[in-house]
Amino acid sequence: MKRKFTGIFLGTLVVLSVDVLTTEAESNVFTIAHRGDSYYAPEHTIAAFDLGLSRKSEVIELDLQMTKDKQIVAFHDPTLDRTTNGTGNVKDKTLKELKRLDAGSWFNEKYPKRANPAYVNQKIPTLDEVLKRYKGKARIFIEMKTPEKNKGMEEAVYKVLKRNGMLNASSYNNRSIVIESFSPQGLKKLQKLAPGLPMTYSVWNKEYKKLTDQELRNIRKYADMISIDYRETTQAKVNRLKRFGFTVMPYTVDKERDMKRMMKYGVHGIYSNNPQLLNSLR
Ligand code: G3P
Ligand code: CA
């Protein structure tokens, strides 16, 4: 109310921009808890995924890396240094070695105001552990990180999904599991192993700018969902992608103003490190 009143005195331009900020969301957008609730808990830990779900997010998102002994783990960086007390490459360690690491204390040190003793000694989860814990409780979006550098990742992911009963029509129809990647080759390879498995093509701004209509049609043959950088998301871009039949999901949106802007554009889902904030706006 106060904002609208101010707008009247400041002129049309201001009224329009304020309108964007004050419009009620009334949106069916779904929340994708990016790396779990990674604002309030250490990313890619059970604590972060549990928290993401406890506040009504429909989806948890996680990234995948592969260990030296070809185990698939929920982890973002290729190296351990930022989010554990270990060092070096994930791909040079065995799962047993990774399981000795503390993947939570760094968060308490970096964000003392959001610290929680329960985060100390959180472990790096395997994909298998994540599926067992959340299957049937949340939709799970899993991003294969650089499969071109992790030889055999697609096959290893396929085996874990199969073992957990995720490769069936019911799971596909409900979008209970969705595979994401910035690598079209990785997506196509996995879809050959598991035809019908839903896929999201993730695209950087630089790549998006080069995408012709024909290329978008080609992508639609293996992916009907697309994740795009919110910073260069416009109404025109959302409309274009919708015309090609994509489910449109901007990443990674953490500010209220940007969340409202994305909802106004009519995107389908939003990736956020702060799903609690997004859920409070929907
Ligand atoms: O799918 C989009 C999003 O997950 C990409 O961001 O955090 O994996 O680098 P990130
Ligand atoms: Ca990701």
Provide the residue range defining the domain that includes 141: 25-82+89-94+124-281
- Separation of CA 99 and ligand 1 centre (Å): 24
3-state SS class at 34: strand
CA dist., res. 206 & res. 225, Å (int): 19
Q: How much is the mean pLDDT over the chain? A: 91
Judge if the beta carbon of residue 201 lies within 6 A of ligand 1: no
* Known catalytic membership, residue 76: yes
**What pLDDT was estimated at residue 17?**
35
The residue ranges of DSSP E strands in 156-253, in sequence order, are 177-181, 199-203, 225-229, 247-251
Residue in 55, 73, 57, 56 with CA at minimum distance from that of residue 65: 73
Closest protein CA for atom 5 of ligand 1: 251
| Residues ≥6 apart with Cβ < 8 Å to 65 | 72, 73, 75, 76, 77, 78, 90, 91, 145, 150
Q: Catalytic site residue 268?
A: no
Give domain status of residue 1, yes or no: no
Q: How confident is the model at residue 26 (pLDDT cuts 50, 70, 90)?
A: low
- Is 161 within the bounds of a domain? yes
Q: Is 11's pLDDT higher than 60?
A: no
Q: Are strands 30-34 and 59-66 parallel, antiparallel or unpaired?
A: parallel
The residue annotated as part of the active site, out of 76, 175, 189, 260, is 76
Q: Is residue 106 part of a domain?
A: no
Task: Tell me what percent of the residues of the chain surpass a pLDDT of 70.
Answer: 91
Question: Ligand 1 pocket, 254 CB below 6 A?
Answer: no
pLDDT band at 10 (very low <50, low <70, confident <90, very high): very low
* pLDDT for 254 beyond 50: yes
Residue 248 has pLDDT above 60, yes or no: yes
* pLDDT value, residue 173: 92
Q: How confident is the model at residue 183 (pLDDT cuts 50, 70, 90)?
A: very high
Mean pLDDT of 172-179: 94
Percent of the chain at pLDDT exceeding 90: 89
C-alpha of 137 from chain center:
17
- Tell me, yes or no, whether 265 lies in a domain: yes
**CA–CA dist 123, 86 (Å, integer):** 12
- For residue 150, the domain's CATH number is 3.20.20.190
Mean pLDDT of 51-72: 95
State which ligand 1 atom lies nearest to the alpha carbon of 200.
1
Per the structure, how many domains does the chain have? Answer: 1
Ligand 2 (single-atom ion) residues, CB below 5 Å: 63, 143
Q: Is residue 137 part of a domain?
A: yes
The C-alpha atoms of residue 215 and residue 8 are separated, in whole angstroms, by 46
Residue-level pLDDT at 111: 98
In a domain, 77, yes or no: yes
What spacing in Å lies between the alpha carbon of 2 and ligand 1's midpoint?
Answer: 37
Task: Please report, as a single letter, which amino acid is at residue 211.
Answer: L
pLDDT at 113: 98
Instruction: Supply the DSSP symbol for 120.
Output: T
Query: Is 7 domain-assigned?
Result: no
The arithmetic mean of pLDDT across residues 111-137, rounded, is 97
For the CA of 61, the closest atom of ligand 1 is 4
Q: Tell me whether residue 19 is in a domain.
A: no
The preferred substitution site among 141, 271, 272 for testing ligand 1, maximizing ligand atoms within 8 Å of CB, is 271
Q: Which is the catalytic residue, given 32, 34, 122, 270? A: 34
Protein residue with its CA nearest to atom 3 in ligand 1: 251
